[in-house]
Structure 1
Amino acid sequence: MKLGGKEGSASSASAGAGSIRTLITSRLSRGGGASFLINSVGMGLAMLLQIALARLLGVQDYGIYAFVTTVVTFMVFPAKLGFDTATVKLVSAYRVKGDWPLIKGLLRRSNQIGFTLSVLAALIGIAVVALMDWGRGGQGGSEAHAKTIAYIAGFAAIPLLTLATLRQSALQAMKDALFAQMPEKIIRPVLTIGFVAALGAAGVKLGAAMALLCFAVATAVTYVIGAIVLKKRIGSQTAAVKPNYETRGWLRLSSSLMINAGMYLILGQLNVLMMGFMRGETESGLFSAAVRLAVLVSFMLTAVNMTASPLVSEKYAKGDMAGLQRVCIRTGRIGFAFAAVVFAYFVVLGHWTLGLFGPEFTKAYPSLLILAFGQLFSAYCGQNGTVATMTGRQNALTKVLIAAAFVNAALNALLIPTMGMLGGALASTLSIIVWNSAAVLLVRRKPGVQTLAWAPSLSFARKRGNYS
């Protein structure tokens, strides 16, 4: 009888684990499939946009365009105040409890704060470049004036980019990966390409300023589309409820998450920014093309993360640690397998791919390989940052990211002046290795989750029935 009871218990446990595994796999397949489709098409369109701009604008104007968009990215992140990541974390948890008043209050307050800060950032940026242009007193001619217009056009898009990111996070938390990403990843690049091509066909002289004006108009159109989609998606649940606010608690969380977002931004884009300041916008543009291509290596992990983030928050909120581990294993292995294929492609055909931007861009091939290896390592380490953020370990993660950001900045300052693009690539990859290694150990210690795509320790855990 005891033996039969043990067998029955083991059978029940196995069946339970199997049903949970099937549920997680099906949800990841549905959300991850849509996310993969949108990210694949969006990444292709983004690359097409960059190649078209590089060909149409030339190396110098493309360098200005790439540098301005990088500066704008740095200005958007404090305007969001971390509410983009906080929204994914909190809305996912509130949905489990059915707390729609708090969801409505959070979305309203985050938009109010984001809009105020983004307008302030845009006005400061526009004022600074306008004063610099006025202070030149006509020196530099039309070229300097055109660069000023390019900066102003980029800064004008900051409020819309901020609000669009907050809207995207809300839809991501609602597990609507398709509509969360479609406006920015599909519609915006299509419109930007269309506007630039139409102006070129009409005989308008194209430059960085005109390209950024097209980008700003496309951003405005996609913001309106995204806002309408969000209203239709949650309008029925929030229309009749009175919003509740926990503003102080939200600000504490979002401010902490903003620091993390800033560190991620530094780790991913600081080298492009410093390249522009230290080596000029033209070399920054060449390097930016390599950075944009290298991101393709880990984009599958990013795509699946759109589904995994709310799942991680939900599993942790329910105390389902076994389910949380399964999510990490499946997303990590999918992401790394894809990353290995893309990395191999760049080893063989990276030089040719850079040549699509223009013959001058092939100079960035060695940098591309170094950057791609960093992304491959990041993909192998899996969803460590997401797990830390969604399970309350964001403060510890912040310390890791701050240390890595200091390493990144110091290496950039040391290597870029003498090694140029190669130095920027080395700085980026070394800092990626530092922070990913530390983050893997962080979440392994608490909440006790293994995020590596494959690790020897998992085989022992699997035999005990913990993760399979």
Structure 2
Amino acid sequence: MSGARTFVRGFVGVGAVRLCSILLALVTSIVLARTLGVESFGKYAFVMALVPLLSLPVAGGLAPLLTREIATYCHNDNWPLFRGLLRASHAWVLTCSLVLLLLAWLYVDADAAAGQGRLQLVMIALLLVPLGGVNAIRSGVLKGMGMPVRAVLPVQIIQSTLFLLALSLIGLAYSLNVVTVLWVQVAAALLAYLAGSWLLLRNRPAGVRHGPTSYETLRWSSSLLPFALLAAVGTFNSQIGILMLGMLGTDEQVGGLRVADRAAHLVGLPLTLVNMVIAPYIVRARGDGDQQRLQRLAQRAARGSFAIAITVAVPLVLFGSAVITFVFGDDFARPAYLPMVLLIAGYLVNVFFGSVGYLLSMSGFVRDSVKGQVASILVNVTLCALLVPVYGALGAAAGVALGMLVRNVLLAMLVRRRLGIRPGVL
């Protein structure tokens, strides 16, 4: 009962933070959409979709690896390895970030970087990569310590609030453009990193603050590879619609799809909250060999998530067009509504099957989770390439939704084979 109460408390806490984050992101999107317009908002959305891809060499897979390992070290009071992993991960992120930034600045011609096109925007956005890497370390460690609320607070609340406040204040005095917005994003990310570092230092176990340090560099490196592959295909999968639409479509269509995804993401929010809390509990259930507890955990999480998701989905489908028009403006209703409906269907499928990816990766079957992501991305890329030139944002949304279906069906089969439990609602 104590474990169940802790899980529910963590879910509610993370849920409150995530709900505030969603509201902040929604208000921010409204401000940006109405201030920048459809075309410039599409440019901003395209560049921000590139940031997770550019971050993969720096921090891809690092957060879930840290969550799994730190949860194990805390469970076994293995503080020397805790200290070693924390130091090694910081060294990795800082080294890779410096190399990436150096290569980028050497590759890009200074005159071209001073232009007003997408290249300049990408160069500014590159500064978010090292900040995202150190934030991934902090988040993964705090989640592994069983502190999911503290893990998500700096980025989802502090950074989002600072970003929105700065945009509002600057917008009162000056005309906002994409370059200014990106610089504000970088400044907010830096302040969030400082706040997150303070939280991590304050909440470290006493055994970590002093004592010997041990390293398992070879094992950590080999364990990081499948997590990195999973992060790579997962990140590419989540951004492929925006990226291919940006390359094959128009900035207006990109802006419409981003608005559609913001709305549809509310349907997937319950499962997102569960996944932010569930990882340490999966590790403990597997470590104790308690398969029945793992089955109950997976099924209850999926059922609770789906009940909330369907409640959100129905009014969005029925009244979504009017809501988009009222909130974002007439220019966004046409390119956003139908893609939103398709994305809602995809998110419902995702929630229905539950935390299949986390069940595999947190149980040591990361490669199996990669298989599902690869299958999904193949479907996604193929359909986007075929449909985007003809149907624009609607084609991209169809590719994303069908990719979600393929991924979840395959991962559910692998969960049953590897773990011997039934994931999902049924």
Fold-level similarity (TM above 0.5): yes
How far does residue 129 in structure 1 lie from its aligned partner after superposition? 5.0
What amino acid maps onto 1:424 in structure 2? A
Structure 2: tracts of 5 or more residues without a match: none
How far does residue 196 in structure 1 lie from its aligned partner after superposition? 1.2
Match of 1:107 in 2: 86
Instruction: Name the % identity.
Output: 28
Structure 1 window deviating more from structure 2 (219-228 vs 324-333): it is: 324-333
Match of 2:254 in 1: 284
Pair 1:425–1:313, CA change in 2 (3 A): same
Please tell me whether Structure 1 or Structure 2 has the larger radius of gyration of its CA atoms: 1
What amino acid maps onto 2:373 in structure 1? L
Match of 1:187 among 154, 158, 176: 158
Match of 2:330 among 359, 375, 391: 359
Map residues 295-314 of structure 1 onto 2, 5 A cutoff: 295-314=265-284
Match of 2:61 in 1: 82
What amino acid maps onto 1:426 in structure 2? A
How far does residue 130 in structure 1 lie from its aligned partner after superposition? 4.6
What amino acid maps onto 1:247 in structure 2? T
Equivalents in 2 of 1:171, 1:226: separation in Å? 10
Match of 2:237 among 260, 263, 267: 267
2:31 is the counterpart of 1:52: yes
Match of 2:367 in 1: 395
2:141 is the counterpart of 1:170: yes
TM-score of the pair, normalised by structure 1: 0.87
**Contact (CA 8 Å) 2:350, 2:408: kept in 1 or not?**
yes
Match of 1:231 in 2: 201
Equivalents in 2 of 1:221, 1:185: separation in Å? 12
Residue 145 of structure 1 aligns to a residue whose secondary structure is coil
Pair 1:431–1:146, CA change in 2 (3 A): closer
**Contact (CA 8 Å) 2:384, 2:399: kept in 1 or not?**
yes
Pair 1:360–1:126, CA change in 2 (3 A): farther
Equivalents in 2 of 1:319, 1:437: separation in Å? 25
Match of 1:210 in 2: 180
Equivalents in 2 of 1:33, 1:237: separation in Å? 29
Superposition CA RMSD, Å: 1.6
What amino acid maps onto 1:68 in structure 2? V
**Contact (CA 8 Å) 1:146, 1:209: kept in 2 or not?**
no
What amino acid maps onto 2:423 in structure 1? T
Structure 1 window deviating more from structure 2 (396-405 vs 384-393): it is: 396-405
**Contact (CA 8 Å) 1:296, 1:342: kept in 2 or not?**
yes
**Contact (CA 8 Å) 2:60, 2:232: kept in 1 or not?**
no
Structure 1: tracts of 5 or more residues without a match: 1-21, 139-143, 456-468
Match of 1:91 among 70, 74, 80: 70
Match of 2:346 among 374, 378, 396: 374
**Contact (CA 8 Å) 1:384, 1:451: kept in 2 or not?**
yes
How far does residue 241 in structure 1 lie from its aligned partner after superposition? 1.8
**Contact (CA 8 Å) 2:125, 2:186: kept in 1 or not?**
yes
Equivalents in 1 of 2:106, 2:177: separation in Å? 22
Pair 1:24–1:333, CA change in 2 (3 A): farther
How far does residue 127 in structure 1 lie from its aligned partner after superposition? 4.8
Match of 1:432 among 391, 404, 407: 404
TM-score of the pair, normalised by structure 2: 0.96
CA deviations on 1:243-297 (whole Å, 9 max, x unpaired) are: 2111111111111111111111122111101110111333212211112221211
Equivalents in 2 of 1:373, 1:125: separation in Å? 39
How far does residue 397 in structure 1 lie from its aligned partner after superposition? 2.0
Residue 446 of structure 1 aligns to a residue whose secondary structure is helix
